[in-house]
Amino acid sequence: RHVDSRLVRYASRTYYQPLLDAGVQLMLFDGGLLHTKAVVIDDRFALFGTVNMDMRSFYLNLELSLAIYTPETVATIRALLDHYLAHSEAPDIAQHPPRIQRFIERCVRLVSPLL
């Protein structure tokens, strides 16, 4: 929710509806800037790092993620993600933004790969 760049916030909102339509549970963290990229799978495996899922992160930015199998560390990451989720809420998609805001969001989406 507290994105440090207005452009990123505008671009991000254009992806909400397609993600929701695909069945993704979308939550906005309300506790400040959250830059964590983490996933826990079956409480047995975790990925934790800085990598975004884009070509720029894979080939240009030299970012890193860890594959973690240690049960104690996986449990710690799971607890962290549960904490984030407890301090998050679903976006209010029902309210339709003004036309000018939708126009700005769509324009910014065009340059979103560069953000």
Structure confidence at residue 2 (pLDDT) = 53
Q: Domain map of the chain by residue range?
A: 1-26+92-115, 30-89
Query: What percent of the chain has pLDDT above 70?
Result: 92
30 pLDDT more than 80: yes
Judged by DSSP in three states, 84 sits in: helix
Number of H helices, E strands in the chain: 5, 5
* Buried b / exposed e along 46-72 (16+ C-beta atoms within 10 A): bebeeeeeeeebeeeeeeeeeebeeee
Nearest one of 19, 28, 37 to 1, comparing CA atoms:
28
Residues 83-113: pLDDT tens digits?
A: 999 999 998 776 677 788 778 778 777 777 7
pLDDT band at 67 (very low <50, low <70, confident <90, very high): very high
- Between 114 and 89, where is the model more confident? 89
